Chains A and B, each alone.
Chain A
């Protein structure tokens, strides 16, 4: 691999959070290279400067969602974020995601995040089997289009980290869990629509959203969790009016 790396072009000043809830930024100098991603920088530090640095990644190509960190104040997928796009001249500051317990260095406990997916009934529940034996879903139907819009979520937690409503109301389910719930509400094969709507219509559910749209703004997959949340708001309001919530 080494031989394929481009020649270093000066040095990058990098501050990285060390510790858990308590800790401090540690300073490193990393050779600047062409087409370098933020994840490359973190990996360089762990391989060459300090092997005790803890961080997460897996796929390195924007599929698994495990490499999310805060880069100069904004949560990003670090494997797909070029240094040149976020720090042309200045230093790089890398920290763990917000609103999640910090375990060590750049690693947070994603447990509470996925616990909320469960609370939002984010798992598919098989409904009644249609007479034909399988459900024929028209790819152009409005419901299928709604699913299409939200299904590519990689569960990276960036929207959750960026959402102020999560900061103000820690029990709020958050954009990702609600986005997941909305894709399932639009899945004709699913048999838990009513229960799921009940699960997301409470105080800590979709109606807590204030439309700051940070989720839409920061989602690396360019999804629109806010649109999903708006969908849930409408669906739960209609259900409540019909006495079916």
Chain B
């Protein structure tokens, strides 16, 4: 096979929408255990929770948080786009819907960042 089998094909908007949907989903899934661990810390002791909350106020975590909010917004908006395709057959405007989802996600992430920094 070698040279012939190109594993990755040249992309296009629909493809990138699918990739982003997966990556954002994966990111959110990875975040959940951390979220539960933090809540769990609160169940055991107030000091534990305070310690964990202090950690969440570190600059790096707050930047990561803005990324997470963006990912969540993208996953939700992208999910709505998929529902519109699957249930209403809006395939003709799928690229515009993808742009809209990206725009909404960026705006949400920026708003969150503005409120938090």
A residues with CB within 8 A of B: 17, 21-25, 73-74, 95-96, 98, 102, 162, 164, 210-214, 216-217, 224, 226-227, 230-231, 233-234
Contacts and interface: CB of A to CB of B under 8 A. Distances in A.
Contact of A211 (B3, B5, B6, B86): B86
Contact of B91 (A21, A162, A213): A213
A95 B4 contact: yes
Contacts of B17: 213
Contacts of B85: 211, 226, 230
Contacts of B86: 211, 230, 233-234
Given A17-B4, A24-B2, A213-B12, 18 more contacts: A21-B1, A22-B1, A24-B3, A25-B4, A73-B9, A95-B4, A98-B5, A211-B82, A212-B14, A213-B14, A213-B18, A214-B15, A217-B14, A217-B15, A226-B85, A230-B87, A230-B89, A233-B86
A30 to B, nearest CB: 20
A25 B3 contact: yes
Contacts of B14: 211-214, 216-217
A213 B95 CA distance: 10
Interface string B67-108: 000000000000000100111010110100000000000000
A212 B91 CA distance: 11
B76 to A, nearest CB: 16
B10 interface: yes
A164 B14 CA distance: 12
Contacts of A233: 86
A234 B3 contact: no
Contacts of B10: 73-74
A201 to B, nearest CB: 15
Interface magnitude class on chain B: 20 to 34
Nearest to B16: A212
A188 B15 CA distance: 34
Contact of B87 (A73, A102, A234): A234
Query: For B2, B85, B87, B91, which residue has the most chain A Cβ atoms within 10 angstroms?
Result: B91
Contacts of B3: 24-25
22 contacts: A17-B4, A21-B1, A23-B4, A24-B2, A24-B3, A25-B4, A73-B6, A74-B9, A96-B4, A98-B5, A162-B9, A211-B85, A213-B15, A213-B91, A214-B9, A214-B12, A214-B14, A216-B14, A216-B91, A224-B92, A230-B87, A230-B89
A24 to B, nearest CB: 7
A216 B98 CA distance: 15
A91 B56 CA distance: 53
B88 to A, nearest CB: 9
Contacts of B2: 24
B110 to A, nearest CB: 28
A174 to B, nearest CB: 15
A213 B94 contact: yes
A93 to B, nearest CB: 9
Contacts of B89: 227, 230-231
Contacts of B82: 211
Given A230-B85, A234-B86, A212 B4 contact: no
A213 B17 CA distance: 10
Contacts of A22: 1
A23 B15 CA distance: 29
Nearest to A229: B86
